[in-house]
Structure 1
Amino acid sequence: MTAQHETAKEPSLIVTREFAARRAESDDVVSTLSIESQAALRQFSIERTVGYGVDYADAVELRARVLDGQDWRSAATALADACLHRVHVAPHVAGGPTRIAYLRRASALLRMSQMMMLSDTAERRAIFAKAAELYAHAAELARDRERVRIATEQGVLAGWLIPAVGAVASAVVIGGVEGWAMDFDSIGEALAARGIDALMLDAPGQGETRLRHGHHLSPHWRQAYGRAIDFLDESAPGRPIGIIGNSMGGSFAMAVAVDDRRIGACCDNGGIIAPWMVPPSIGTFFSKMVAFCGTEDAGQAVESWKSVTPAADGPNAGYPLLIVQGGADPLVSMELAEALLHQAPTGDKQMVVFSDGQHCVYNHQHDRDALIADWLRARLHGPATAVDPR
């Protein structure tokens, strides 16, 4: 082989993929950005972004682009397009597992792109619809979950069922004001791996239920949750059922558990004792709570939120309860978490605290998911053992 031939081949030996490196996030740099960009960077840490299904490398790149001046929505959308480019341009390279991974990455990025949108515009609905379709395409290829639509008197509930092999129990999993069914699918996957069918539900005011079907939170929300539990109960009569709520969804989960005797165990990961007491001064989060109710009338929205009563008594007051709390949660203080623990009507309760945990313990995602899934499996199917907090 001649030297000339070797040189001619050298360029094909090295292929470089270009990425934006992680940026320093100094106050001086962040202060030059738009108010929306500053809020997005503050609210969606890398850990939280990854917790919603965004790949770590995409989360780093997203923050870098925003720090360089690109707005949050267009930066996330551009990264989603890059993932889809890998699927469509090189199908011979993107085999089944690769296609599934990039479709899910693109879906998560599109969902992230609409997080700072406060109004349910046609553009937002289109973004979320595309994210759901990409997620559905990945589900069809992987054959590991299926789309679910449940009719209720108030409107359609949308969600995703992640079935378990040899299922011994079922569970409803819900998100909060911002993170919804697809965003918390890591918990559903952990449940399914432990023999629990997981219904990842967009409850009233969330996800496709809201943006596609126009079903918002109202004082009648319990009836809709009851239909979701009916769905699981009718699919496997007699099988025990649990419920898991993340962020404000934890408040809903507890309120459902105390009222419905079919709930055999409940986990609250980040809820509060009185959601309706979140003040307007919180800003965009309060605005999102109002939008959750499909209204611009803050007073009307507060009345709907007043019906969420996680510490109330009820016919199923002895349900087993696990509260998962982050010791460094900037939204839900230890004082608020302990108040919820002490005022919960059940005597069968425990709280596990991750000392440096963020809100919903996104920064310990694997350990959090394993804790919740193992505990639920034990309470629904195995011996009622206490959680070992070590």
Structure 2
Amino acid sequence: MIVTREYTGSRAETDEITSKLSIESQAALRQFSLERTIGYGVNYADAIELRARVLDGQDWRSAATELADVCLEQVQDASRVTRIGYLRRASALLRMSQMMMLSDTSERRAIYANAAELYAQAAELAGDRKRISIKTDHGMLAGWLIPAGEAAGASAIVIGGIEGWAMDFDSLGEALAARGVDALMLDAPGQGETRFQHEHYMSPQWRQPYGSAIDFLEERAPGRPIGIIGNSMGGSFAMAVAVDDPRIGACCGNGGILAPWMVPPTIGTFFSKMVAFCGTEDADKALDAWKTVTPAADGPNAGYPLLIVQGGQDPLVSVDLGEVLLNQAPTDDKQMVVFSDGQHCVYNHQHDRDVLMADWLRARLS
């Protein structure tokens, strides 16, 4: 008996082909490269199929959603390990399906809630992480704790940026846990479940919720050193937190910039997403909040160890911008590692990036 599994298969991505697509499809293919899509947890084969379907004319959201449904069909009557894999694949595809949605509609909230539920089912089956809720003065924070178990000697907060959030960077959390660092994959104000489930957005008071997350780790393991890693715009937040809070023993920034509020409205939809991050349609109000993100300001913890990871071919944050951030950071204990062909957040060297940051953070915290 021969059983054939049908796939669309890889497609050429020429200007002639992409120019015939909708503006949204062109933007999705441009913004979410194959490497970036995989970096957010999408399986390689799913990422290839997603791009192929969009190139054939299907819209981004429905293509990703249908692929998630295909994964879920494989869960039925499968072994525990197989169910874990397909649940995580489906979750990543659903998270990818809402990436081009700019407004926090009920549909977008439902998509993200479904993705989180599938991720939670996989976590329960695997027993390797658990959902976390942290109460703050400004609203609830959501996240996922990936524990290092008995080998744990340190703790760390990992955050994403404007688009990639807690579940999307779990490969980094797994790398930390494997090296004895409990990893709190945090949806900070304006991100993920914190945003869609708890309607907790970024405000000028955003530092207090981060402090509550540090409180959580400190109370969970008193005396254990704590680090923080920020990816994309999260790198700017991580540095701003590190310089202000003496409990942070080391910080790694991967893709942040010196002055987030200076991103111009002309940068495609990115500026719109920064405004939505603050739960408002008022750009001036949002900019007031973003002006409080000061990664190079002085503070009571100005001597913290800092590692900046930079992509040499990053189209969003150039090496020059990375060097400006490095040079103006108030600490003397700092270094930058450049991946010469690295994309934004170095998604195209995901394993090497994760190993670098996890090993460096563990060494500095010990």
Same fold (TM > 0.5): yes
Q: Which residue of 1 aligns with 2:133?
A: 149
1:129 aligns with 2:113: yes
Give the 3-state SS of the residue equivalent to 1:173 in structure 2: strand
Q: Which residue of 2 aligns with 1:35?
A: 23
1:51 aligns with 2:39: yes
Between structure 1 and structure 2, the one with the greater Rg is: 1
Q: Which residue of 2 aligns with 1:69?
A: 57
Distance in 1 (CA, whole Å) between partners of 2:359 and 2:75 is 35
Give the 3-state SS of the residue equivalent to 1:87 in structure 2: coil
Q: Counterpart amino acid of 1:159?
A: G
1:195 aligns with 2:180: yes
Structure 1 length normalisation: TM-score? Answer: 0.93
Deviations 1:18-72 (A, max 9, x none): 1111100000000000000000000000000000000000000000000000000
**Residue from 363, 366, 370 that aligns with 2:355:** 370
**Residue from 206, 209, 228 that aligns with 2:191:** 206
Aligned-residue CA RMSD in angstroms?
A: 0.4
Q: Counterpart amino acid of 2:230?
A: G
Deviations 1:74-111 (A, max 9, x none): 000000000001112xx1xx101100000000000000
Q: Which residue of 2 aligns with 1:84?
A: 72
Structure 2 length normalisation: TM-score? Answer: 0.99
**Residue from 231, 234, 239 that aligns with 1:246:** 231
Distance in 1 (CA, whole Å) between partners of 2:215 and 2:171 is 24
Q: Counterpart amino acid of 2:83?
A: R
Distance in 2 (CA, whole Å) between partners of 1:147 and 1:251 is 25
**Residue from 97, 108, 112 that aligns with 2:92:** 108
Distance in 1 (CA, whole Å) between partners of 2:362 and 2:5 is 43
Give the 3-state SS of the residue equivalent to 1:187 in structure 2: helix
**Residue from 170, 192, 196 that aligns with 1:185:** 170
**Residue from 12, 23, 28 that aligns with 1:24:** 12
Q: Which residue of 1 aligns with 2:301?
A: 316
Q: Counterpart amino acid of 1:31?
A: S
Q: Which residue of 1 aligns with 2:258?
A: 273
Q: Which residue of 2 aligns with 1:386?
A: none
Deviations 1:134-157 (A, max 9, x none): 000000000000000000010000
Distance in 2 (CA, whole Å) between partners of 1:231 and 1:121 is 31
Q: Which residue of 2 aligns with 1:229?
A: 214
- TM-superposed deviation, 1:350: 0.3
Distance in 2 (CA, whole Å) between partners of 1:212 and 1:283 is 27
1:89-100 equivalent positions in 2, closer than 5 A: 91=77, 94-100=78-84
Deviations 1:118-141 (A, max 9, x none): 000000000000000000000000
Q: Counterpart amino acid of 1:184?
A: F
Give the 3-state SS of the residue equivalent to 2:297 in structure 1: coil
Percent identical among aligned pairs is 80
Q: Counterpart amino acid of 2:160?
A: G
**Residue from 201, 209, 212 that aligns with 1:216:** 201
Distance in 2 (CA, whole Å) between partners of 1:330 and 1:251 is 17
Q: How many residues align?
A: 365
Distance in 1 (CA, whole Å) between partners of 2:292 and 2:119 is 32
Deviations 1:306-357 (A, max 9, x none): 0000000000000000000000000001110000000000000000000000
Q: Which residue of 2 aligns with 1:9?
A: none
Deviations 1:229-280 (A, max 9, x none): 0000000000000000000000000000000000000000000000000000
Deviations 1:196-223 (A, max 9, x none): 0000000000000000000000000000
Gapped runs of 5+ residues in structure 1? 1-11, 382-390
Distance in 1 (CA, whole Å) between partners of 2:268 and 2:68 is 28
